[in-house]
Amino acid sequence: METGLTPTRLYMVLQKKFGVLNWWPMDKNYHMMNNSDPRFEIIVGAVLTQNTAWSNVEKALDNLKLDKALDVDSIMDMTLEKLEELVRPSGFFKQKAKRLKNLVLYLKSKYNGDLDCFFNRDFYTLREELLSLSGIGPETADSILLYAGGKPVFVVDAYTKRVCERLPVVGVNDVSSYDTVQRVFQYDLSKNFSDEKLTMVYKELHALIVELAKKYCKKKPLCSVCPLNNKCLFKKNLF
CB of 13 to ligand SF4, least distance (A): 10
Minimum distance from residue 232 beta carbon to ligand SF4 (Å)? 3
Q: Looking at the chain, how many residues does it have?
A: 239
**Shortest Å distance, C-beta 220 to ligand SF4:** 9
Binding of ligand SF4 by 232 (CB under 6 A): yes
| Residue 24 contacts ligand SF4 per CB under 6 A | no
Considering only the stretches 31-39, 55-63, 183-191, 216-224, report the one whose residues sit in contact with ligand SF4 under the rule CB under 6 A: 216-224
Q: Total residues at the site for ligand SF4 (CB under 6 A)?
A: 14
Contact 228, 1 (CB under 8 A): no
| Nearer to ligand SF4 (CB atom), residue 141 or residue 226 | 226
Q: What is the nearest approach in angstroms of ligand SF4 to the Cβ of residue 215?
A: 9
- Closer CB to ligand SF4, residue 1 or residue 29? 1
What is the x/- site pattern for ligand SF4, positions 160-179, by CB under 6 A?
Answer: ---x--xx------------
Any contact of residue 208 with ligand SF4 (CB under 6 A)? no
Least distance (Å) from ligand SF4 to the CB of residue 172?
Answer: 14
Report in angstroms the alpha-carbon separations of 128 from 30, 89, 108, 123, 141.
31, 30, 18, 9, 9
- Residue 39 sits at φ, ψ, to 5 deg, of -65, -25
Using CB under 6 A as the criterion, which residues of the chain lie in contact with ligand SF4 when the complex forms?
163, 166-167, 216-217, 221-223, 226, 228-229, 232, 234-235
